[in-house]
Structure 1
Amino acid sequence: MESSYGLRAVRAGSATGAGLAGWQADTGRTVEIVRKVPVTYWCPQGHETTPVFAELAETEIPKTWDCPRCGRTACREQGATAERPGDEPFKSHLEYAKERRTPEEAERVLQDALDRLHRRRS
């Protein structure tokens, strides 16, 4: 006795090679393949990222993209810089901590934390 499976190793959005099958035969509809377009962006630090979009009109593809490595604004032209107004450049946790404290205050906080750690361990 053979069992019947509704999904037989077919990816969503792909067309079957054997013609209409399953829901396609029942409804008479066919799968429409969407063309994909890779678009390359470069950030000011030279990181390259290439997201893939559905085939769109040139005006619908974003002119800028956030760099997944450093968070800066990437452009479609290599070497170009286009910071969006109001956006603050990417900062690490350490950079924010350095803004809040002088080096002397940071040294004091570190020494206090080390002293508490030594007291707990002894």
Structure 2
Amino acid sequence: MSSSIRGSRIGAGPMGENERGESAPRQRVPYFCANGHRSTPAFAHDAELPAEWDCPRCGLPAGQDESAPPPASRVAPYKTHLAYVQERRSDADGEALLEEALAKLKERRGR
């Protein structure tokens, strides 16, 4: 037995303006990043254009002026929990806390 829709999928077929309706007017706007990448996203013709756009290749901010792209933003590097603790505590505070924790541990063990 063979199926008449074999090799087909739901939604398969021509998808054009006949089925969806007419597309809204679009404009393509070039954006340039500090690495020299050019991207041209499409916006609705009457949309307010953003001053900056994230470069899809490198993620840096991109602007519309090719000769003066926006500078890369300073993003703080990922910090571990230990790095945050070290910012709040001095070495002397850390030594005092360690001694206190070791004293409690020795007390529990009966030494």
After TM superposition, the score normalised by the length of structure 2 is: 0.47
Tell me which structure has the larger Cα radius of gyration: 2
TM-score by length of 1: 0.44
